[in-house]
Amino acid sequence: MGFTGFSGFAVALALVGDAPDAGAQALTQRNMSLEIARALADASIACAKADGYDVSVAVVDRAGEMVVLMRGNMANPHNAELARRKAYTARTYGVSTMEFRNRTNGTDLAGQRELVDIIPLGGGLPVNVGMERIGGLGLSGAPTQEADDKCALQAIKGAAALLK
């Protein structure tokens, strides 16, 4: 037996507690669009190709959910997962994954490295519109973390017109 119809709804409302604040409003938030995500991924792949290597690129939205994942033709299988985790880490902490790596290395913040999907490797950058974080970009597959970072930064700079 269970509640049905309107009476169940009324009971559920009564269980929630006090009525919401009269000044409460719905949130309006910007988020990663497919168009921005594709532009970032395409620019990242192009940068890496120009430097002579294949990478995997991931772009996540403000909730850390995948919007785009692209894998270079010769990228290693693990690069896709690393790119996703770099994008997620950058989005979560709002700093480059290189900065996250450095500030959590051997400090009292090192425990943050143990969270699910967090990775302390360079190649991830947050994506912002003004001061609002709308997602993250992650690359994996370059010969160094600095090279992954370089292409991520170049992609974000190239998408500046879209990030207004």
- The rounded mean pLDDT for the chain is 91
Architecture of domain 30-163: 2-Layer Sandwich (3.30)
Total-model pTM: 0.85
Pair 55, 81: CB distance under 8 Å: no
Cα–Cα distances in Å, from 22 out to 10, 18, 19, 162? 19, 11, 8, 36
Helix ranges (H only) for 3-96 are 5-16, 34-50, 78-93
The span from the CA of 59 to the CA of 80, in Å, is 11
Domain segments of the chain as ranges: 30-163
Other beta carbons within 10 Å of 162: 14
Q: What is the pLDDT of residue 16?
A: 57
DSSP H or E stretch at residue 52: none
DSSP bridge pairs for 56: 71, 140
Q: What is the pLDDT of residue 71?
A: 95
pLDDT of residue 148 exceeding 90:
yes
Q: What is the pLDDT of residue 22?
A: 78
pLDDT digits 0-9 by tens, 71-124: 999 999 999 999 999 999 999 999 999 999 999 999 999 999 999 999 999 999
